[in-house]
């Protein structure tokens, strides 16, 4: 059975998609089979992996609403071992269409059960909201990875995210855990960024990954070429930081034998 990780933070622009694309690529390059599920109607993970969201006739929307098998829809990416279950603007409708449906919080979980065991890891790139799509992700996942941007309002909203995680744990998914917090867009020359990073570490302790993602031009540019950083410029500090995060993440799993 593969491990399913929701990458969530209801704030936009904190590095969820960048983390999903680059961490899943770095793990795939380590020889694992990885599925990345784009759960944002903006389709940034989809376009960031070189797939034009507007060209798609079937997406994760069809898995959620029409119960299509993800296997019939996912796309092999240019990264060996990495598959993408894409999204486009259709997904915005799913949130509304699911509202009155019985078991509306479980549709993603049911879809992923159809392909259980086919990948070592499944990453869920959540939209910037705590709506039904994110709740579906938290229900389907075993753990949550939270990217936090090193800026002034970094901690704001984290308590709301943690209480959503608690709520999902109590209602449906008792074994859901916080996988960890990843500090993103870190600029060591910036005093505020250093202060925020210290504040997050003193508050969350060992739950914060040692690997820190720097603000880096490769990570910002690569999506416009439809490539993860590691294929666009593997030597860049951003690509290397995600490789380090992947190694730390994989060794975590071995240590705790989860
Ligand atoms: P989210 O998915 O949380 O909305 P994104 O991953 O899309 O956030 O990141 C927001 C913007 O910041 C994007 O334009 C992305 O390319 C850029 N970005 C993300 N991480 C970095 C980084 N480490 N260095 C430079 N730019 C980054
Ligand atoms: Mg995103």
Is 254's pLDDT higher than 80? no
Nearest CA to ligand 1 atom 20: 15
Is any atom of ligand 1 closer than 6 Å to the C-beta of 155? no
| Position with higher pLDDT, 215 vs 156 | 215
pLDDT at 1: 65
For 170, the token pair is 């109590």
3-state DSSP assignment of residue 173: coil
Is any atom of ligand 1 closer than 6 Å to the C-beta of 228? no
Is 147's pLDDT higher than 80? yes
What is the position in ligand 1's atom list of the atom closest to the CA of 186? Answer: 23
Considering its fold, how many domains does the chain have in total?
1
Nearest CA to ligand 1 atom 12: 13
CA distance 60 to 57: 10
Is any atom of ligand 1 closer than 6 Å to the C-beta of 128? yes
Ligand 1: centre distance to CA 255 (Å): 30
Over the stretch 76-85, which tens digit does the pLDDT of each residue have?
999 999 999 9
Percent of the chain with pLDDT over 90: 91
Please say whether the beta carbons of 55 and 47 come within 8 A: no
Is any atom of ligand 1 closer than 6 Å to the C-beta of 215? yes
Is 257's pLDDT higher than 50? no
| pTM above threshold 0.95 | yes
Using DSSP bridges, classify how beta strands 121-125 and 3-7 pair: parallel, antiparallel or unpaired.
Answer: parallel
| Position with higher pLDDT, 222 vs 2 | 222
What beta strand segments (E) does 49-198 contain? 75-76, 82-85, 121-125, 143-149, 177-184
Nearest CA to ligand 1 atom 16: 220
Nearest CA to ligand 1 atom 1: 13
Ligand 1: centre distance to CA 184 (Å): 8
Cβ neighbourhood burial of 234 (10 Å; 0-12, 13-18, 19+): middle
pLDDT band at 258 (very low <50, low <70, confident <90, very high): very low
Mean pLDDT for the stretch of residues 107-120: 97
Is any atom of ligand 1 closer than 6 Å to the C-beta of 150? no
The CATH number that applies at residue 163 is: 3.40.50.300
Percent of the chain with pLDDT over 70: 97
pLDDT at 178: 95
What is the position in ligand 1's atom list of the atom closest to the CA of 213? Answer: 23
Distances (CA, A) of 6 to 56, 67, 217: 23, 20, 26
Over the stretch 134-144, which tens digit does the pLDDT of each residue have?
999 999 999 99
What is the position in ligand 1's atom list of the atom closest to the CA of 217? Answer: 25
Is any atom of ligand 1 closer than 6 Å to the C-beta of 18? yes
Over the stretch 50-60, which tens digit does the pLDDT of each residue have?
999 999 999 99
pLDDT at 85: 98
Is any atom of ligand 1 closer than 6 Å to the C-beta of 13? yes
Half-sphere exposure of 223 (CA within 13 A, CB side): 17
What is the position in ligand 1's atom list of the atom closest to the CA of 21? Answer: 6
Do the interacting molecules here have an ipTM over 0.95? yes
Which residue range(s) make up the domain with 19?
3-256
């Amino acid at each position: 059975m593969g491990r399913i990780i929701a990458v969530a933070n209801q704030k936009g622009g904190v590095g969820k998609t960048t983390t999903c694309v680059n961490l899943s690529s770095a793990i795939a390059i380590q020889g694992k089979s990885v599925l990345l599920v784009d759960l944002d109607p903006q389709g940034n993970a989809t376009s960031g992996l070189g797939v034009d969201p507007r060209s798609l006739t079937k997406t994760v929307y069809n898995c959620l609403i029409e119960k299509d098998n993800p296997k019939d829809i996912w796309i092999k990416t240019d990264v060996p071992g990495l598959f993408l279950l894409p999204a486009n603007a259709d997904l915005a409708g799913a949130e509304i269409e699911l509202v009155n449906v019985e078991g509306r919080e479980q549709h993603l979980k049911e879809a992923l059960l159809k392909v259980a065991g086919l990948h070592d890891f499944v990453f869920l790139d959540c939209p910037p909201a705590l709506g039904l799509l994110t709740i579906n992700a938290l229900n389907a996942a075993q753990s949550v990875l939270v990217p936090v941007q090193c800026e002034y309002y970094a901690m704001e909203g984290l308590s709301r995210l943690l209480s959503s995680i608690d709520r999902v744990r109590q209602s449906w998914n008792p074994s859901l855990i916080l996988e960890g917090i990843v500090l993103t867009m870190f600029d060591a020359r910036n005093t505020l960024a250093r202060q925020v990073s210290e504040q997050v570490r003193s508050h969350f302790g060992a739950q914060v990954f040692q690997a820190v993602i720097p603000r880096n031009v490769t990570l910002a540019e690569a999506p416009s070429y439809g490539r993860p950083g590691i294929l666009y410029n593997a030597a860049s500090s951003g690509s290397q930081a995600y490789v380090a995060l992947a190694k730390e993440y994989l060794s975590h799993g071995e240590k705790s034998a989860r």
